[in-house]
Amino acid sequence: MGSYLLLAWTWARASAQYRTSFAVSIVSSFAINALDAVAIGIVFLHVTTLGGFSLREVMFLYGTGGVAFAVADTLFGNIERLSQHIKAGTFDTMLIRPVSPFVQMAADGFGAHRIGRLAQAVIVLSLALPVVPWSRAWMVPLMILTGVVIFTAVFTLGAALQFLLVDAPEIANAFTYGGVTLTQYPLSVYGDQLVRAVTFIVPLAFVNWQPALYVLDRPDPLGLPAWFRFAAPLAALLLAGCAALAWRAGIRRYRSTGS
Amino acid sequence: MIETISLGRDFKVRGTLVPAVRDLSFRVGAGEFVGCLGPNGAGKSTTIKMLTGILTPTHGRALVAGLDPTRQRKALARRIGVVFGQRTTLWWDLPLRDSFELVRLLYKVDRNRFRQRLAELTEVLELAPFLRTPVRQLSLGQRMRGDITAALLHDPEVLVLDEPTIGLDVVAKAEVRSFLARLNAERGTTVLLTTHDLGDIERLCRRVLLIDHGRLAFDGSVAELRALVPGQESIEDVVAHLYLSSTPAAPRTPRRTPDADPPTVTA
């Protein structure tokens, strides 16, 4: 934890050395993500509900999923650049320091530009909050926390895969960025098979969908038992455990580079 | 200080297992200065990487400073220093001084000890003129001196260097060599380095390990290495002869068994 903050601070200072690039990246990251949110507004110009959910409710799903992803991405998202570090040989230098290579990877290249996405998601979520009944508001911080754990675990699994597929990091990215896009809409707009897959295999449904069914007091379109709505922390812990094992297995199989 | 027992590492290349290092057994005592020679692709770097915890061995085991490099990697990192000639461990965009400060914090070096050690190293390696320069603007010789400093700030018992003099000019090479010799003589730091530069071997190493086709092909003093190929004037010719005559099937003799007495140290 201390090492993470230290490294992140150092990287933020280093990245601030390139001021123009820093300003451009923070503005462009905010703008790209804002366009993403505008797309939802455009959809609702043509329909009044999406998968049975109103605009505010969809914004609630988008905002909770978005904030969870943005926090995970800001803190740990850099782990997905593992294959670049393996190829450049810089991962070797992380392994000779007395700090976990996971922490070093996560903090590597940390810059304030990572916050652009977070700002956008927080705005959308705050606009959606009036839809949350006061008595069920306690679930909101909990679901964001479990969402952060789930996305971090997905990032880590993707990175662990890169130990094997050094030349195909895109396969791993498909899960993380595909994952966040999936959580931005009510899962009821997708096919049943996909919903089952993201409930039982990669438990993205627990990032916001299942807890949101509780917060918004909706029946589950798939008819899954009601306790699933409270199972998100369990799913997050299971996934995090798998991710930690996969990461360790990846380090053991690490091949380094030629020289 | 360093011990390997039948150490080996296989790599899977297009479905078949290829051994990069096999059955490597040797022992390096505290305070020794050992050079590791071998043709490109012989397994020197793979060996170094197993000793520093970067690569997990597929066979045998290693002990460095009494620790298992794979299982106790972080504990080992505090007790050894590692320098890669081909890449830096410094932070590219930060002034050299800031990289050192980070090393202090990551290795949890006491502030006073750090200040004292950095002052010593700054003087001996003449770092003062470029301490505030970002690492990316340093010359290779300056960067290498910076890397060596970063590897020594936590006062390790063992220093491992992978091709530390590669690409350096004659003056920079001489500076690095004299520094390493002093470090070994005055502080008793155990040094293991790999190199293609036989000047490094002749001027620094009392003991040579020759690795070829992933095996230990020779372990002894520079004088013993010369004696392997009679009639050759320069050490370059001796080593070239050894590399050329090598075959993967038959490791050259004399090959010391791991249990044999340590070779005589020639000063």
Alpha carbon distances (Å) from A124 to A60, A63, A138: 8, 5, 19
Q: Is the ipTM of this complex over 0.90?
A: no
- What is the DSSP code string of A18-57? SHHHHHHHHHHHHHHHHHHHHHHHHHHHH-S-BTTB-HHH
Instruction: Tell me, yes or no, if A96 comes closer than 8 A to chain B by beta carbon.
Output: yes
Whether A1 has a pLDDT exceeding 50, the answer reads: yes
Residue A76 sits at the vertex; the CA angle it makes with A75 and A77, to the nearest 5 degrees, is 110
Using an 8 Å Cβ cutoff, are A106 and A148 in contact? no
Cis peptide before B254 (omega within 30 of 0): yes
- Interface contact A3-B106, CB threshold 8 A: yes
Q: Which one, of B213, B198, B215, B205, lies nearest residue B255 by Cα?
A: B215
Question: Is residue B247 scored above 70 in pLDDT?
Answer: no
For residue A151, with 0-12 CB atoms within 10 Å meaning exposed, 13-18 middle and 19 or more buried, which class applies? buried
The pLDDT score that the predictor gives to residue A210 is 92
Contact: A98, B106; criterion CB under 8 Å: yes
Instruction: Give the Å distances, CA to CA, from A238 to A60, A199, A244, B165.
Output: 25, 13, 10, 49
Sheet with B215-220, strands from edge to edge, namely B80-84, B158-162, B190-194, B33-37, B207-212, B215-220
Say if strands B207-212 and B215-220 run parallel, antiparallel, or are unpaired. Answer: antiparallel
Q: Tell me if B139 sits within 8 A of B126, measured CB to CB.
A: no
Q: What is the pLDDT of residues B3-42, one digit of tens each?
A: 999 999 988 888 888 889 999 999 999 999 999 998 888 8
What residues have CB less than 8 Å from B23, skipping those under 6 apart? Answer: B6, B7, B8, B59, B60, B215, B216
Mean pLDDT within B249-266: 44
B107 — contact with chain A (CB < 8 Å)?
yes
Task: Looking at the complex, report in whole angstroms how far the Cα of residue B42 sits from the nearest Cα belonging to chain A.
Answer: 11
Binning chain B into helix, strand and coil, the percentages to the nearest 5 are 40, 25, 35
B54 vs A3, A14, A92: nearest CB: A92
Which of A22, A86, A248, A259 best tests the B interface by mutation, with the highest count of B CBs <10 A?
A: A259
Q: Would you call A17 and B93 a contact, using CB atoms and an 8 Å cutoff?
A: yes
Q: Does B67 touch chain A (CB under 8 A)?
A: no
C-beta atoms of A93 and B105 within 8 A:
no
- Cross-chain residue pair B93–A14, CB shorter than 8 Å: yes
Measured CA to CA, the distance from residue A207 to residue B36 in angstroms comes to 53
Q: What is the mean pLDDT of chain A?
A: 86
Contact with chain A for residue B122, Cβ under 8 A: no
**Three-state DSSP class for residue B18:** strand
Mean pLDDT of A84-109: 90
Taking an 8 Å cut-off on Cβ atoms, the answer to whether A92 and B56 are in contact is no
**Alpha carbons B263 and A90: distance in angstroms, whole number:** 36
State mean pLDDT over A138-148. 94
| Inter-CA distances, A78 with A8, A70, A108, Å | 11, 12, 7
CB pairs under 8 A between A and B: 77
- pLDDT band at residue B266, thresholds of 50, 70 and 90? very low
Beta strands B207-212 and B59-64: pairing type?
unpaired
The C-alpha of B54 sits at a distance from chain A's nearest C-alpha, in angstroms, of: 6
The answer to whether residue B64 neighbours chain A at the CB level (below 8 Å) is: no
CB contact under 8 A, A14 and B87: no
- Domain-wise residue ranges, chain A: 2-253
| Calpha distance A253→B56 (Å, rounded) | 7
Please choose, from the candidates A69, A101, A64, the residue with its C-alpha nearest in 3D space to the C-alpha of residue A85. Answer: A101
Confidence band (pLDDT; 50, 70, 90) for B261?
A: very low
Residue A7 near chain B (CB below 8 Å): yes
Q: Which of B49, B88, B91 sits opposite A14 (nearest CB)?
A: B91
Whether A22 shows a pLDDT value over 80: the answer reads no
Give the Cα separation of A50 and A48 in Å (integer): 7
Name, of A1-5, B120-124, B190-194, the range with top average pLDDT: B190-194
Q: Measure the CA–CA gap between B86 and A175, rounded to whole angstroms.
A: 34
Domain boundaries, given as residue ranges, for chain B: 2-244
Read off the pLDDT of each residue in A145-152 and give the average, rounded to a whole number. 94
- Note the pLDDT tens digit of each residue in B179-227: 999 999 999 999 999 998 888 888 889 899 999 888 998 899 888 888 8
What is the pLDDT, as a whole number, of residue B248? 52
- Class of domain B2-244 (CATH, top level): alpha beta
| C-alpha–C-alpha distance, residues A159 and A201, integer Å | 18
Quote the minimal CA–CA distance from B52 to chain A in Å.
7
Q: How far is B68 from chain A (nearest CA, A)?
A: 13
CA distance B66 to A104: 26
Q: If you measure CA to CA, which chain A residue comes closest to B94? A: A14
Distance CA A106, CA A188 (A): 34
Q: Say how far apart CA B157 and CA B176 lie, in whole Å.
A: 18
- The answer to whether the CB of A146 falls within 8 A of the CB of A229 is no
Three-state DSSP at B234 gives coil
- pLDDT single digits (tens) A159-189: 998 888 877 777 777 777 777 788 888 888 8
The predicted model scores a pTM of 0.84
